[in-house]
A and B are shown apart, each in its own frame.
Chain A
């Protein structure tokens, strides 16, 4: 029976230690004065190649600033979800990635530290960056982030198919339709395109349309939008020269292009490393998107470095942020060759190295950031559904957009 007593005491101790272990933690990483300061850098490093670029940048930064240590916080899961929980727990990284799309919410909710003061103090010249990118991270006159890199859309075309059909990359909408017709034969389609705003918007804007007006209200059913949507939808339904990746039996446009099911896609620079791996022998070219008349348009998909309002080492955090977006820091972006650097001067260097990617850099001048205000996600959803029902249910574009607009009220 003595044994029993001991057992119960032991289990009690175990039980209590469980509880204490749960409640513990917290006060770690409080740096004393004089010692090196640790800054956390959070990001969704979507590929090993991207992570390597950041690691190289960080190593260079630490070399220049021996009193600052940088810890990488890599988020490979759903980035927005994890970031929200970190922010709610006030445990977010000091400096982190922020995509243009959810940026308005973050800026409005006061999660981020306004950078204007630091920008002035450290003589950062915002006009050295591509304007459309910088604008994506400004809210009510304040700047909250400095863009790190971007990609726009370009027309990727299969050189062999174009040669066989005897056509040139289309420069206008009419040419696009004609070329697509010539390229469609048997199982092969002219164009793969998924029904969503992140591919359609340039066409809406070229036609004089807009998704959100100057006051920030959605204008999905703008007559020019309907006209452009009808033009694209006709490529699917009337001319049968375009198809969605799903209908082609692939996951996304990139697969359709790599597997030579289509001759053209509108995609970003992320296609280049993808094609290198999946279809290394495919000969393809990149051109600017076809225009309706004269005015071209494009979308800039960009990510900025932003600073947490709760950071305990804001001066040091800005130093890191400044370095990452400086010419020195962006040299690694150029060398990495994944996305385009956000600094105009580095864009030129990028072109020296990769002249064939000119279409992306040219487009950023007239591109709009991929961003639709605080309710951006809902608006994109509504538009996508309209675009989908125009194709799947053969609904007239105007009717589909009217419905979408009504849903947003």
Chain B
């Protein structure tokens, strides 16, 4: 598809003369103004403000009484055991979810990209969980995984005793991980599917002529050609898993229980901000999380090679 690059960059010089009142760049900015303004008011502004808050002892109840505390909020992060637990849980969650999620997404994409019957049905079926709200999914899984729920009923056939999955210190987090994989895998499958369809057929034809089998074709053509897609997916997945909140909020009823087993960084941040009234500290947690995600993404970039540009 990309074999013959077309010339897109030619500038029609004639058009420039007629620009009248506004020059082209200015006009361009004016067109994007609504987005620029709304982004700066609702996204960039709050981010900068939150950065200021992270150096203050700030609470919504008394904004004027905020005091500058320097790096105290950040230093507190190193001593706060519950925060460490939250970070640990989040890392486990991320480490567990990403590889499984990415591999299943790739396998599913390969399946629905092949010439099997009813592939439209499968594409829809796998993608459907993605368009369902995480809260609805969580509530549904609460029913499936409860003590007299469907899962325990099923496991009962194999003699496995029923347990309350989401209320078990050992199994609560893994159960949520299973749910997360199920509900997000469709989204990444679609991205992989687009990646797969971008691989030119002539590569496979050439490989076939050279006598490569299916496995070799997959290993030496499909996977390398999907590298940019994989990079994108892994980055998105890291961001998504490190920011996980809704599932834990719904399933643990907001407290990260049982015994902090499902406490994640964002859930902890939320509770600090809105239940313990420590908005300054919560902002510091948010920036810490931002740095973690940024560093992980930069490492990714190195790992996948410099030529990979998003």
Give chain A's interface residues, CB within 8 Å of chain B: 1, 5, 8, 11-12, 14-16, 18-19, 22, 78, 80-81, 84-85, 87-88, 102, 105-106, 109-111, 244, 246-250, 375, 377-378, 381, 384-385, 388-389, 392-393, 407
Q: Which of B255-300 contact A (CB under 8 A)?
A: 255, 257-260, 271, 274-277
Complex contact A1–B18 (CB within 8 A) = yes
Complex contact A87–B60 (CB within 8 A) = yes
Complex contact A80–B275 (CB within 8 A) = yes
The docked-state distance in angstroms from the alpha carbon of A377 to that of B20 is 64
A15 and B259 contact, Cβ closer than 8 Å, known pairs A247-B147, A248-B147, A378-B276: no
A22 and B274 contact, Cβ closer than 8 Å, known pairs A85-B60, A388-B258: no
Complex contact B61–A87 (CB within 8 A) = yes
The docked-state distance in angstroms from the alpha carbon of A102 to that of B274 is 11
The docked-state distance in angstroms from the alpha carbon of A1 to that of B31 is 18
The docked-state distance in angstroms from the alpha carbon of A105 to that of B38 is 34
Q: Looking across the interface, which residue of chain B has its beta carbon closest to that of A88? A: B60
Complex contact A392–B169 (CB within 8 A) = yes
A25 CB to nearest chain B CB (Å) = 13
Say what secondary structure dominates the interface of chain B.
loop
Instruction: Verify if B96 is at the interface (C-beta below 8 Å from A).
Output: no
Complex contact A249–B255 (CB within 8 A) = no
Complex contact B169–A111 (CB within 8 A) = no
Instruction: Verify if B305 is at the interface (C-beta below 8 Å from A).
Output: no
The docked-state distance in angstroms from the alpha carbon of A115 to that of B34 is 46
Instruction: Verify if B198 is at the interface (C-beta below 8 Å from A).
Output: no
Complex contact A392–B274 (CB within 8 A) = no
Extra A-B contacts (8), CB below 8 Å, given A246-B167, A384-B257: A8-B30, A15-B30, A19-B33, A88-B60, A88-B61, A110-B65, A249-B164, A385-B257
The docked-state distance in angstroms from the alpha carbon of A16 to that of B36 is 12
Complex contact A109–B258 (CB within 8 A) = no
A189 CB to nearest chain B CB (Å) = 13
Q: Which of B37, B146, B169 contacts A19 (CB 8 A)?
A: B37
Instruction: Verify if B230 is at the interface (C-beta below 8 Å from A).
Output: no
Complex contact A249–B148 (CB within 8 A) = yes
The 9 closest A-B pairs by CB, nearest first: A249-B147, A246-B167, A84-B60, A109-B61, A88-B60, A109-B62, A15-B33, A81-B274, A249-B148
Instruction: Verify if B81 is at the interface (C-beta below 8 Å from A).
Output: yes
Complex contact A15–B34 (CB within 8 A) = yes
Q: Which of B29-47 contact A (CB under 8 A)?
A: 30-31, 33-34, 37-38, 41
Q: Which of B169, B257, B271, B277 contacts A105 (CB 8 A)?
A: B277
Complex contact A385–B164 (CB within 8 A) = no
- 20 A-B pairs within 8 Å (CB atoms) are namely A5-B20, A15-B30, A16-B33, A22-B41, A84-B60, A87-B60, A87-B61, A105-B277, A109-B61, A246-B147, A246-B166, A246-B258, A248-B147, A249-B147, A375-B276, A377-B275, A388-B258, A388-B259, A389-B259, A392-B258
Complex contact A110–B62 (CB within 8 A) = yes
Q: Looking across the interface, which residue of chain A has its beta carbon closest to that of B167? A: A246
The docked-state distance in angstroms from the alpha carbon of A391 to that of B27 is 67
Please name all residues of chain B whose beta carbon is closer than 8 Å to the beta carbon of A80 when the two chains form the complex: 274-275
Instruction: Verify if B101 is at the interface (C-beta below 8 Å from A).
Output: no
Q: Which of A102, A106, A385 contacts B259 (CB 8 A)?
A: A385
B169 CB to nearest chain A CB (Å) = 6
Instruction: Verify if B174 is at the interface (C-beta below 8 Å from A).
Output: no
B64 CB to nearest chain A CB (Å) = 9
A18 and B34 contact, Cβ closer than 8 Å, known pairs A109-B65, A110-B62: yes
Instruction: Verify if B59 is at the interface (C-beta below 8 Å from A).
Output: yes
The docked-state distance in angstroms from the alpha carbon of A40 to that of B165 is 45
Q: Which of B1-52 contact A (CB under 8 A)?
A: 18, 20, 22, 27, 30-31, 33-34, 37-38, 41
Please name all residues of chain B whose beta carbon is closer than 8 Å to the beta carbon of A88 when the two chains form the complex: 60-61, 63
Complex contact B164–A247 (CB within 8 A) = yes
Please name all residues of chain B whose beta carbon is closer than 8 Å to the beta carbon of A110 when the two chains form the complex: 62, 65
Complex contact A407–B81 (CB within 8 A) = yes
Complex contact A15–B61 (CB within 8 A) = no
Instruction: Verify if B195 is at the interface (C-beta below 8 Å from A).
Output: no
Beta-carbon contacts of B135-179 to A below 8 Å, as 1s and 0s?
A: 000000000001111000000000000001011010000000000
The docked-state distance in angstroms from the alpha carbon of A80 to that of B61 is 11
A187 CB to nearest chain B CB (Å) = 10
Q: Which of A1, A8, A392 contacts B27 (CB 8 A)?
A: A8
Complex contact A19–B60 (CB within 8 A) = no
A88 CB to nearest chain B CB (Å) = 4
Q: Looking across the interface, which residue of chain A has its beta carbon closest to that of B277? A: A105
The docked-state distance in angstroms from the alpha carbon of A1 to that of B14 is 12
Complex contact A111–B61 (CB within 8 A) = yes
The docked-state distance in angstroms from the alpha carbon of A76 to that of B18 is 56
Please name all residues of chain A whose beta carbon is closer than 8 Å to the beta carbon of B62 when the two chains form the complex: 109-111
Please name all residues of chain B whose beta carbon is closer than 8 Å to the beta carbon of A381 when the two chains form the complex: 255
Complex contact A22–B38 (CB within 8 A) = yes
Complex contact A385–B60 (CB within 8 A) = no
The docked-state distance in angstroms from the alpha carbon of A381 to that of B18 is 69
The docked-state distance in angstroms from the alpha carbon of A389 to that of B169 is 10
Please name all residues of chain A whose beta carbon is closer than 8 Å to the beta carbon of B148 when the two chains form the complex: 249
Please name all residues of chain A whose beta carbon is closer than 8 Å to the beta carbon of B164 when the two chains form the complex: 246-247, 249
The docked-state distance in angstroms from the alpha carbon of A5 to that of B27 is 11
B309 CB to nearest chain A CB (Å) = 31
Please name all residues of chain B whose beta carbon is closer than 8 Å to the beta carbon of A106 when the two chains form the complex: 61
Complex contact B37–A18 (CB within 8 A) = yes
The docked-state distance in angstroms from the alpha carbon of A80 to that of B41 is 24
B29 CB to nearest chain A CB (Å) = 10
Please name all residues of chain A whose beta carbon is closer than 8 Å to the beta carbon of B259 when the two chains form the complex: 385, 388-389, 392-393
Please name all residues of chain B whose beta carbon is closer than 8 Å to the beta carbon of A375 when the two chains form the complex: 276
Q: Looking across the interface, which residue of chain B has its beta carbon closest to that of A187? A: B148
A393 and B169 contact, Cβ closer than 8 Å, known pairs A80-B274, A385-B259: yes
B135 CB to nearest chain A CB (Å) = 13
Complex contact A11–B30 (CB within 8 A) = yes
The docked-state distance in angstroms from the alpha carbon of A78 to that of B253 is 12
Please name all residues of chain A whose beta carbon is closer than 8 Å to the beta carbon of B41 when the two chains form the complex: 22
A140 CB to nearest chain B CB (Å) = 16
The docked-state distance in angstroms from the alpha carbon of A18 to that of B38 is 9
B35 CB to nearest chain A CB (Å) = 9
Please name all residues of chain A whose beta carbon is closer than 8 Å to the beta carbon of B255 when the two chains form the complex: 381, 384
The docked-state distance in angstroms from the alpha carbon of A81 to that of B249 is 14
A308 CB to nearest chain B CB (Å) = 11
Please name all residues of chain B whose beta carbon is closer than 8 Å to the beta carbon of A393 when the two chains form the complex: 169, 259
